[in-house]
Chain A
Amino acid sequence: KAGVTQTPRYLIKTRGQQVTLSCSPISGHRSVSWYQQTPGQGLQFLFEYFSETQRNKGNFPGRFSGRQFSNSRSEMNVSTLELGDSALYLCASSLSGTVGELFFGEGSRLTVL
């Protein structure tokens, strides 16, 4: 059974640009969550999607957004990039998002210059 797939694995952007990251969940999983990981703040929850609907959102500015498609694949977008957005962005999938194991992808490493 294939795991969670994230693309791209690495990317470099400059301040003010925008970026889109993609996540394909484990087959059959309908919930996709996104996390930001930085050395200073650790793992922080961004948002969660289920059946194309955002059900939960963390404490991040509106520059961070996401969406989910009918096949459960998800994308997140960060607009007007800032230096502090440099981080490992992790996607996690689960069956329902309410209880049970979340399985993480390998992440997308974003560097903002």
Chain B
Amino acid sequence: GQQLNQSPQSMFIQEGEDVSMNCTSSSIFNTWLWYKQDPGEGPVLLIALYKAGELTSNGRLTAQFGITRKDSFLNISASIPSDVGIYFCAGQLGAAGGTSYGKLTFGQGTILTVHP
């Protein structure tokens, strides 16, 4: 199925470092969402972006909705051990054409490992 291109696939960083990951798509989305998933659990919503160019922060997390509506990035500042997990971007078309109800298109995920 269709997926977003998310990079990097994995990251190994030291505690305290900043992290950056991004997602690109060949088609536009009207909403971008960023989720974090721990092993054996469901994805937890981190940040939602609704407007092209929007920059939103949630604590140490900052995300931006690309101007073209085809990309988004997530930054984590001053990483800590509990940041470990898989981060997913997701695009949502919304009600466009009536075919997108409840449907998110996900990236492949970025596996983040933080060394103390």
Do A and B pair up? The answer is yes
Say yes or no for B94: interface residue by CB 8 A criterion. yes
Contacts of A109 in B (CB 8 A): 40
Residues of chain B at the chain A interface (Cβ within 8 Å): 1, 3, 30-31, 33, 35, 40-45, 48, 50, 88, 90, 92, 94-95, 98-109
Q: B interface, by DSSP: helix, strand, loop or mixed? A: loop
Q: A interface, by DSSP: helix, strand, loop or mixed? A: strand
Contact of A98 with B48 in the complex, beta carbons under 8 Å? no
Contact of B101 with A31 in the complex, beta carbons under 8 Å? yes
- Complex Cα distance, B102 from A32, in Å, reads 7
Residues of chain A at the chain B interface (Cβ within 8 Å): 4, 6, 31-33, 35, 41-45, 47-50, 55-56, 58-59, 90, 92, 94, 97-107, 109
- Complex Cα distance, B4 from A42, in Å, reads 11
Contacts of A107 in B (CB 8 A): 40-42
Of the candidates A42, A48, A56, the one whose C-beta lies within 8 Å of that of B3 is A42
Given A43-B88, A50-B101, A100-B31: A105 in contact with B42 (beta carbons within 8 A): yes
CB-CB nearest in chain A for B106:
A43
- List 26 A-B pairs, Cβ < 8 Å: A31-B102, A33-B104, A42-B3, A42-B108, A43-B104, A43-B106, A44-B1, A45-B102, A47-B102, A50-B101, A56-B100, A56-B101, A90-B42, A92-B104, A97-B101, A97-B102, A98-B94, A99-B31, A99-B92, A101-B45, A102-B33, A104-B35, A104-B42, A104-B43, A104-B44, A107-B42
